[in-house]
């Protein structure tokens, strides 16, 4: 971690020094500070008896530089990032670091890149390379997302493009062929994906605009392997019985789809985004209840719950709630710019049990490059529902953003 911090700081310093010496260099600096108050849900089944001591205060500082250097037909983009946690520790990384070479109808790119494939706002089933969005910050105003290391070749023609790429997840054995075409005002996308687990997947997407204010989009992706954890009944040591680890939920070894339908509408300055999302790999309500029962049982019998196999990974995943663990979800977002403030509200709804995460945000410009934001977040639902059982009942975030 120390080497990454030194490297990120060195790149920031190099970019700042070079900025005054070259007209071909564009340089931006970004600062983001937030402070959060968190209210734990005392009756959460994922934390019975308050075994896990959840922090009720959190803060973070983020500093980022974004440099773009033009060298003839080549472009170098480097974006180092420094994060400071509330405990005073620092971490550095490269958000992006890529070299792009333009050869007429061809582009060649190598390095770490942030990119988005697909049509969706919150969900992008065909975007096998896009970082997942966080519900608390779908716009990534905190600049927390990092790119993916890749090699990519693009071929362009009017109303058509073709991209071939190799990229790294747990290893470099991820290949994708992505095509785009515009036909009769319809944006069409297709992807062939050969992932590291060696099973060919494919997807399709389309988007079109009706009139001047209504956009409709949809995506379909056929998977061959679940992207989620296999939940397990954990090994229970001691006592008169030992329960071996076994899959609580394991998707069958077959093709199964991921589907998105959505719209983006703007009327009288009010923007609405609505999306329906379905994933066949999601667990059923019955499996969700079984998961909670096994979890509570394991916690009750294990002398050291924190040492339980896979418990931490599952807890972090359920706590984040970034994509949900079940099959059907709705996403809704309203945005309106007023004279002195930007207002937005979003809801992420589990359509199986009616529970939801709700968020409101007010962003107030203080100067041309400085803004203040206030962001309350609520987790609501009946007992036994996904967001009714969440780690937290409420969160309140406030902070500053500075762009230079």
Taking the C-alpha atoms of residue 104 and residue 96, their distance in angstroms, rounded to an integer, is: 24
Which domain, by its residues, includes 89?
2-403
User: Tens of pLDDT along 306-341?
Assistant: 444 344 444 444 444 445 678 899 999 999 999 889
HSE-CB at 231 with a 13 A cutoff on CA atoms is 22
- The two tokens of residue 1 are 């971690």
Taking the C-alpha atoms of residue 192 and residue 188, their distance in angstroms, rounded to an integer, is: 14
Mean pLDDT of 185-214: 93
12 three-class SS? helix
Question: Which residues, in sequence order, are CB contacts of 207 under 8 Å at separation 6+?
Answer: 119, 186, 187, 215, 216, 217, 218
Taking the C-alpha atoms of residue 8 and residue 273, their distance in angstroms, rounded to an integer, is: 36
Q: Which CATH number do you get for residue 128? A: 2.40.160.10
User: Tens of pLDDT along 295-304?
Assistant: 666 666 655 5
Question: Which residues, in sequence order, are CB contacts of 235 under 8 Å at separation 6+?
Answer: 242, 243, 244, 245, 309
Task: Inform me whether the pLDDT recorded for 175 exceeds 70.
Answer: yes
pLDDT at position 88: 82
- The two tokens of residue 24 are 């071909």
Task: Inform me whether the pLDDT recorded for 226 exceeds 90.
Answer: no
Q: Classify 332 in phi/psi space as left (phi over 0), alpha (psi -120 to 50) or beta.
A: beta
- Decide if 98 contacts 111 (C-beta within 8 A): yes
- The two tokens of residue 125 are 């089933």
| Residue 248 φ/ψ, nearest 5 degrees | -80, -40
77 — pLDDT class (breaks 50, 70, 90): very high
- The two tokens of residue 331 are 């996403």
Mean pLDDT of 173-179: 96
Containing 113, the helix (H) or strand (E) segment is: strand 106-113
Taking the C-alpha atoms of residue 314 and residue 229, their distance in angstroms, rounded to an integer, is: 8
Percent of the chain with pLDDT over 70: 77
To which residue do tokens 């006592």 refer?
Answer: 239
Number of domains in the chain: 1
pLDDT at position 44: 80
For the entire predicted model, the pTM comes to: 0.84
User: Tens of pLDDT along 8-47?
Assistant: 444 544 444 444 444 588 889 999 999 989 888 887 877 7
pLDDT at position 71: 86
């Amino acid at each position: 971690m120390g080497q990454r911090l030194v490297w990120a700081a060195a790149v920031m310093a190099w970019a700042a020094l070079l900025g005054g010496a070259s007209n071909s260099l564009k340089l931006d600096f970004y600062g983001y500070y937030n402070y959060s108050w968190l209210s734990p849900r005392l009756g959460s089944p994922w934390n019975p008896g308050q075994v896990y001591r959840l922090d009720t205060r959190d803060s973070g500082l983020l500093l980022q530089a974004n440099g773009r250097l033009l060298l003839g037909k080549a472009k170098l983009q480097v974006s180092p990032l420094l994060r400071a946690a509330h405990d005073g520790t620092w971490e550095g990384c490269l958000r992006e670091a890529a070299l792009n070479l333009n050869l007429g109808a061809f582009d060649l790119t190598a390095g770490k890149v942030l990119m988005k494939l697909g049509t969706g706002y919150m969900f992008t089933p065909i975007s096998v390379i896009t970082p997942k969005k966080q519900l608390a910050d779908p716009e990534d105003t905190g600049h927390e997302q990092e790119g993916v290391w890749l090699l990519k070749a693009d071929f362009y023609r009017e109303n058509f493009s073709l991209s071939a790429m190799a990229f790294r997840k747990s290893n470099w054995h991820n290949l994708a062929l992505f095509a785009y075409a515009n036909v009769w005002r319809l944006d069409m996308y297709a992807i062939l994906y050969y992932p590291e687990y060696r099973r060919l997947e494919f997807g399709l997407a389309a988007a079109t605009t009706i009139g001047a204010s209504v956009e409709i989009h949809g995506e379909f992706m056929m998977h061959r392997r679940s992207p989620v954890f296999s939940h397990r009944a954990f090994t229970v040591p001691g006592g008169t019985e030992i329960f071996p680890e076994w899959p609580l939920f394991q998707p069958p070894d077959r093709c199964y789809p991921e589907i998105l339908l959505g719209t983006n509408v703007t009327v009288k300055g009010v923007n609405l985004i609505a999306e329906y999302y379905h994933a066949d790999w999601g667990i059923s309500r019955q499996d969700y209840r079984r998961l909670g029962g096994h979890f509570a049982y394991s916690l009750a019998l294990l002398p050291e719950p924190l040492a339980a196999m896979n418990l931490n990974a599952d807890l972090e995943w359920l706590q984040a709630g970034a994509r949900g663990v079940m099959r059907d979800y709705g996403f809704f977002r309203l945005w309106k710019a007023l004279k002195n403030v930007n207002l937005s509200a979003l809801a992420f709804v589990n359509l199986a049990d009616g529970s939801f995460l709700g968020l409101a945000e007010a962003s107030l410009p203080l100067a041309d490059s400085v803004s203040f934001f206030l962001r309350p977040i609520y987790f609501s639902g009946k007992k036994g529902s996904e967001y009714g059982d969440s780690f937290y009942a409420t969160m309140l975030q406030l902070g500053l953003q500075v762009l230079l």
